[in-house]
Structure 1
Amino acid sequence: MTLADVVSYVAAALSAMGVAMANVMQRKAGLANGPDRAFGPRFLLDLVRSPTWLLGFGGLVGSFVLQAVALGYGQLSAVEPIITLEVPLTLLVASRVFGSRLGRPEWGGILAMTAGMIVFIAALAPQPGDATDVSHRVYLVAGGATAATIALLVGAGQRGRPVWRTACLGAAAGTSFGLTATMIKETIEQGERHGLAGVLTTWQTYTAVGFGVAGLVLVQWALHLGPLLAAQPGFTLMDPLVSIFWGVLVFDEATRSGWWLAPATAGALGVGAGVVVLARSPLLARVNASDEPMPTPATAPT
């Protein structure tokens, strides 16, 4: 493992912490300003004046900066899976902020996600590719396929049971975030080569912004439609999956193959199991929704 890898992994983990801080602090600020208030300009103005909300916003800004640093030093297929640790980190921060204790299921889910992620990254050991030597034709094919996947998931989310629709929209949101990360990778490469002018003149910058906003809208749509348990796996798992596909197939990042795929698969299954367990936590649901009662303290592990 090189120094660049270490910097990338640490920056990705801190980025996940920034997202977790933003989730909890902005949620706390929203509750403090009255969960029953109508959403509008006055409500937004009160939020912006709240030190708690500003702290959360600072965490969000910091997370974007740290993600850019992580992508600048490391590989897309390694950085994005690490950032999914925002889920257990959100629970840990929320347990402190909201005064709730985590029970055995939550601690088990946190352990499964963390251990699974370590095994997954260690087994694949992604190596650098080249994000700047990709033809427009490849971008068109890969980008079109990813955008089509998002459209198909949104379309599938228009009919059926609420849980199915929520799951599809959650997966569409995760796919949007994965595509956003791939575009940021190219933006960072252009910034390193050409400075601010490179960032402002590359089309990937604006594509990243567009799909990032689309992902945020899809998250709110999914949470409005159905339970967090149905939406969270899509939010969390599709992002790294899309990033790995882009990293390996488009940016030529190399990963281990052969028997190394067995522990990598086991690690990925551990992450998935942890996500499902943590999505059941009433405390995480409290952070992501506005119409659920505050969870009662769970029994702490003995």
Structure 2
Amino acid sequence: MISILFAVLTAVSNGTASVLQRRAAATAPEEDAMRFQLLRDLLRRPVWLGGIAMSIVAAVCQAVALATGPIAIVQPIFMIELPFTLVLGGLLFHGSRFSRHVWLAIAAVAVGLALFLMAAAPSGGNASVSSGSWPVALLATGLFLVVTLGIGLKVHGNARAAALGLAAACGYALTAALMKDAMARLDHGAGALFTGWQIYATAAMGVGSLFVLQNALQAGSLAASQPMLSIGDALISTSYGVTLFAETLRTGWWLVPQVLAMGVVLAGCIGLSRSPLADGMAENPSERGVPAAV
């Protein structure tokens, strides 16, 4: 229960961070994309710094969650970050009530996630990763990032936001796996945490993923980047849990409700992405010529 509680707190903190960072990044010059000048510009924006503060809170909560529960349980819970992000963004940018369509989509994400966890029933697993497993995982992750980042650099707008959002999701999933492995070293004392390479790799991947995410948020709407970030993080993290930490999921006929549950989640995400709630959240509705009601 502790891991679930802190996983929820992580999702809420990350959602808040995304909204604040989106508000700041959306007004940054487009020519700063994929350049460190973007971060220098954002560092001068209090709203963005507030988002970073919430990201730090999320990192602490995530560390506690991963140290007390399987990664295949903790990371999928982060899918609630999407509806929370859009609801908070709608309140911040529109300040109005939400339609029944929006609430049904939010319910679909929540119910689908609950059904998936019940059907998959992640359990077991090791607290740490065997040293021989990391090279293969890092190579596979590196190839995936090369492809997604390459696509992101070739396209523009929401397509770039989606590609970079998926790349960021992969980076954050790897960060979670590294963090869980690093936290396991605490069993040998606090000093062991800082003598292992995992904690430094966690920091490096976290910073790199943050940089990619800022570019995803700058490139297009949250409707394009956030679903890829939330669902991608959950699914990739689950694969890390199974392959690196030997966690188990139900198989056989249980795969049917798992697939159906993910379909419900996907339908909810699509519904949220198509709603005015997720359209141009950094803009003032009155300036865009559209009604504020969502």
Report TM bin, short chain. Answer: 0.7 to 0.9
Which residue in 1 is equivalent to 2:127? Answer: 131
**Structure 1 residues 163 and 185: alpha-carbon distance in aligned structure 2, compared to 1, 3 A threshold:** same
Q: CA deviation digits over 1:19-71, x for unaligned, max 9?
A: 2233345566x59xx95899786873561xxxx77765543322211111111
Q: 2:33 is matched with which residue?
A: none
Corresponding residue number in structure 2 for 1:171: 166
> Where does residue 117 of structure 1 map in the other structure?
113
User: Over the residues paired in the alignment, what is the CA RMSD in angstroms?
Assistant: 3.0
Q: Which amino acid aligns with 1:85?
A: I
Maintained 8 Å contact 1:177/1:212: yes
2:13 to 18, 42, 58: 18
Answer yes or no: is 1:279 the counterpart of 2:273.
Answer: yes
Provide the C-alpha distance between the structure 2 equivalents of 1:95 and 1:250, rounded to a whole number of angstroms.
38
Q: Aligned pair count?
A: 284
Q: Percent identity?
A: 35
Partner SS for 1:298: coil
Question: Could you tell me which of 42, 55, 60 is aligned with 1:60?
Answer: 55
Give the unaligned 5+ runs of structure 2. 30-36
Q: Residues of 1 paired with 2:19 and 2:162: CA distance?
A: 23
Match of 1:94 among 89, 103, 111: 89
1:194 maps to what in 2?
A: 188
**CA separation in 2, counterparts of 1:118 and 1:224?**
32
The unaligned stretches of length 5 or more in structure 1 are 1-5
Cα 1:44–1:149 change in 2 (3 A) is: closer
Mark the CA change 1:286 to 1:250 in structure 2 (over 3 Å): closer, same or farther: same
Residue 215, structure 1, aligned to residue 209, structure 2: yes
Q: Map 1:1-302 to 2 at 5 A.
A: 6-25=1-20, 30=24, 44-45=43-44, 47=46, 56-98=51-93, 99-132=95-128, 134-159=129-154, 162-191=157-186, 193-287=187-281, 289=282, 293=287, 296-298=291-293
Q: Distance in 2 between matches of 1:217 and 1:145?
A: 21
Q: Which amino acid aligns with 2:293?
A: A
2-side partners of 1:163 and 1:89: how far apart?
A: 21
TM-score, L = length of structure 2: 0.84
- Which structure is higher in RCO with an 8 Å CA cutoff and minimum separation 6? 2
Instruction: Return the alpha-carbon distance in structure 2 between the equivalents of residues 204 and 7 of structure 1.
Output: 24
In structure 2, what residue type is equivalent to 1:168? A
